[in-house]
Amino acid sequence: MEKAADSFMETRYYPLFVSLDERLCLVVGGGSVGERKIRTLLRFGAKVLLVSTECTPWLKAQHEGGNIHLLGDVYDKNLLHGVDLVFAATSDKALNERIANDAHSLRVWCNMATDPEKGSFIVPSVFEQGPLTIAISTGGLSPAVARQIREKLEDQFGREWAIMLSFMGLLRKAIQSKGLKSDQNQLIFREMARLPLIGWIQNNQRDQAFQAIYDICGSWIGWDELTQLWNEAWNPYSSSSLPSLTASEPSDI
Ligand SMILES: C[C@@]1(CC(=O)O)C2=NC(=C\c3[nH]c(c(CCC(=O)O)c3CC(=O)O)Cc3[nH]c(c(CC(=O)O)c3CCC(=O)O)/C=C3\N/C(=C\2)[C@@H](CCC(=O)O)[C@]3(C)CC(=O)O)/[C@H]1CCC(=O)O
Ligand SMILES: NC(=O)c1ccc[n+]([C@@H]2O[C@H](COP(=O)([O-])OP(=O)(O)OC[C@H]3O[C@@H](n4cnc5c(N)ncnc54)[C@H](O)[C@@H]3O)[C@@H](O)[C@H]2O)c1
């Protein structure tokens, strides 16, 4: 099937979680879209360079605080050298298109605000709950719906998910250190993932959770070790910072 370059429907966007730690991201355009993209980029540890004729007050403050680098108000193709991602976020459609073309010729990944299909990646709606990251895309069809889905999921995935995942991560490491065969590990982890841990965490039913986990892997993990891992997983979420949970913090068995 021939690909229509101007159609979102024809583009299959490959979802990917990339590390932006210390990566250079050039944003051209410091209006509301540029600001939104930069807020997310900074949250994920990118180094942000900005070119814009005007900047929002928040972006000015970021520049003054040394959190982003302002490279002036004139875009030039040479600025793309050494850059990992570029965001063409000006209100000047022709300039955005030029940036997308330059990026294409230099093989720099480009997000394009005015004609997104002319860029090479789009940005999903994202939220994090501890180690859990949920990213939503409508393939560019409706960013407003992507946002609505994010808001719904945010209500659904509260702090108990962060605690559960931290605990599962610790438990997984502990079991992996016991030197079992990988198919045995796999069986254990799959069985544990089926347990209703979320409900037990929400209701602080630690004994129930321990008993069920013990039934699965009690031959390798002792009760004391389980207690230690459970407490470690709960530690960052003391009852004061966990308003969505009704249960109190776990006490020692
Ligand atoms: C998810 C999010 C991430 C972020 O930007 O950080 C994001 N847009 C967000 C919000 C949002 N953007 C717009 C509205 C107004 C309502 C509406 O138009 O629907 C709202 C809603 C709001 O603000 O409430 C307007 C808009 N957006 C694009 C165009 C141009 C076009 O479609 O041609 C226009 C029209 C401009 C005009 O009409 O002039 C294009 C894109 N916006 C994308 C991402 C990519 C596709 C994502 C996907 O696959 O769904 C894509 C394709 C390219 C890109 O930018 O990467 C963020 C939600 C953050 C959150 O979770 O709250
Ligand atoms: N992709 C998205 O998520 C999304 C969302 C809303 C709007 N848009 C589109 O993106 C464009 C930007 O939206 P906005 O709300 O940020 O607009 P805006 O007017 O708030 O900001 C535009 C920015 O671009 C800068 N700019 C304009 N011409 C420039 C040039 N030649 N060189 C350097 N900087 C220049 C301006 O100084 C300003 O800071 C709009 O035209 C809109 O169609 C995209």
Q: Name the range with the highest mean pLDDT among 125-129, 222-226, 247-251.
A: 125-129
Q: Is 30 in the pocket of ligand 2 (CB under 6 A)?
A: yes
Distance CA 214, CA 44 (A): 37
Instruction: Give one DSSP letter per residue of 44-70, joined into a string.
Output: TT-EEEEEEEEE-HHHHHHHHTTSEEE
Site to substitute for ligand 2 among 33, 40, 93, most atoms within 8 A of C-beta: 33
What separation in Å is there between the alpha carbon of 118 and the centre of ligand 2?
Answer: 16
Q: Is 86 in the pocket of ligand 1 (CB under 6 A)?
A: no
Q: Is 184 in the pocket of ligand 1 (CB under 6 A)?
A: no
Task: Kindly report, residue by residue over 97-138, the tens digit of the pLDDT.
Answer: 999 999 999 999 999 999 999 999 999 999 999 999 999 999
Q: What mean pLDDT is predicted for residues 216-225?
A: 91
Number of C-alpha atoms within 13 angstroms, CB side, residue 231?
A: 9
Give start and end residues of each alpha helix (H) in the chain.
32-43, 57-64, 93-106, 143-156, 159-176, 182-193, 197-202, 206-217, 223-234
Ligand nearest to the CA of 148: 1
Q: What percent of the chain stands above pLDDT 70?
A: 90
> What's the pTM?
0.90
Burial of 195 (0-12, 13-18, 19+ CB in 10 A): middle
Say what the pLDDT of residue 2 is: 45
Say what the pLDDT of residue 11 is: 83
Say what the pLDDT of residue 238 is: 66
Angle CA 155–165–226, to nearest 5: 135
Q: Is 139 in the pocket of ligand 1 (CB under 6 A)?
A: yes
> What confidence category does residue 4 fall into, taking pLDDT thresholds of 50, 70 and 90?
very low
> Checking DSSP bridges between strand 85-88 and strand 109-112, what pairing results, if any?
parallel
> What confidence category does residue 81 fall into, taking pLDDT thresholds of 50, 70 and 90?
very high
